[in-house]
Amino acid sequence: MSLHEFLREDPACHRLAEGAVHCVAPLLEDPDPALVLDQLEEWSTELAARMPLPWDMDEAVERLNTFLFHELGLEGDRDTYDDPRNAVLPEVMRRRKGLPIALSILWIDQARRLGFQAAGVGLPGHFIAALQLPGGLRFFDAFHGGAEVDAPQAEALVRGATRGRVPFHPELLAPTSDRAVLARLVRNLHLRFFRGGDWDEALWTATHLLLLEPGDPQTLKERAVVHLKRGEADRALQDLEAAIHLSGGADAELEQWMDQLRRG
């Protein structure tokens, strides 16, 4: 199944872990998510047997974190943070290390299988998970062993990740849709490939972003640059024309760029 087919079948991307595999399929020798899903099911079966009786939410979260981050050894990759494998779920599960967003997807998957209402939270520069509980949202940082995060700590995470360039406000802690989580996962890879001049990889990441966020003119402009770097002027022109249309108005800089392409 391609990402396009997956999105047609599950447009909201509620099958988050499966979608995360489809999103990075070009980096995988075997893009079939079955092995990943089987492993996640094995994890959840083992976790379910460890849940406290009578039920205690705090104890359940502690056992979830103990299993994922101590017994399985999942951890944030601080040494080779920009390694693309850190965004590739099968590789994260194999290597036991990854980006905040990839670890959060695994944490969310297991929390949901235990019956929690779990979601991602896309902070500027960092990604955490949230549980919707009767008393409100509670936040957990999978990159740091599932540690609970309150608002002041979230502010410190944003300040550190953005070097103070992005002011914190409570609205940043709003849960992110599953589809937006996958888009952010792909964008992490896209930015690395684009900035590194890896145009073959940047082409598929841009295309996957457009599947996930079809109305984004910025990604169309970026894919146009990729096409030009690959010597594909006609395709670049098509993307720029689509970007103009989606922008809903004239863009003098884009129009000039398109004129130059038409003239060859």
- Spelled out in words, what is the top-level CATH class assigned to the domain 178-263? mainly alpha
**Chain segment 173-213, per-residue pLDDT in tens:** 999 999 999 999 999 999 999 999 999 999 999 999 999 99
Phi, psi for 263 (deg, rounded to 5):
-80, -15
Residue 244's pLDDT band, with cuts at 50, 70 and 90, is confident
Return the percentage of the chain with pLDDT > 70, whole number.
97
Rounded CA separation 49/89 (Å): 25
Rounded CA separation 125/5 (Å): 30
Question: How many other C-beta atoms can be found within 10 angstroms of the C-beta atom of residue 241?
Answer: 15
Residue 247's pLDDT band, with cuts at 50, 70 and 90, is confident
Per-residue pLDDT, averaged over 144-161, amounts to: 94
Is 178-263 in the same CATH topology as 3-173? no
Return the percentage of the chain with pLDDT > 90, whole number.
84
Domain ranges of the chain: 3-173, 178-263
Looking at per-residue pLDDT, the higher value among 253 and 125 belongs to 125
Which ranges constitute the DSSP H helices of 29-177?
A: 34-48, 57-65, 89-95, 100-113, 151-162
Are 74 and 94 within 8 A, CB to CB? Answer: no
**Chain segment 65-110, per-residue pLDDT in tens:** 999 999 999 999 999 999 999 999 999 999 999 999 999 999 999 9
Instruction: Concatenate the DSSP letters of all residues of 36-77 into one string.
Output: HHHHHHHHHHHHHTTS-SS--HHHHHHHHHIIIIIIS--EE-
E strand or H helix at 22: helix 16-23
Q: Provide CATH code, domain 3-173.
A: 3.10.620
The residue with tokens 């609205």 is 171
**Chain segment 27-64, per-residue pLDDT in tens:** 999 999 999 999 999 999 999 999 999 989 999 999 99
Residue 249's pLDDT band, with cuts at 50, 70 and 90, is low
Looking at per-residue pLDDT, the higher value among 8 and 240 belongs to 8
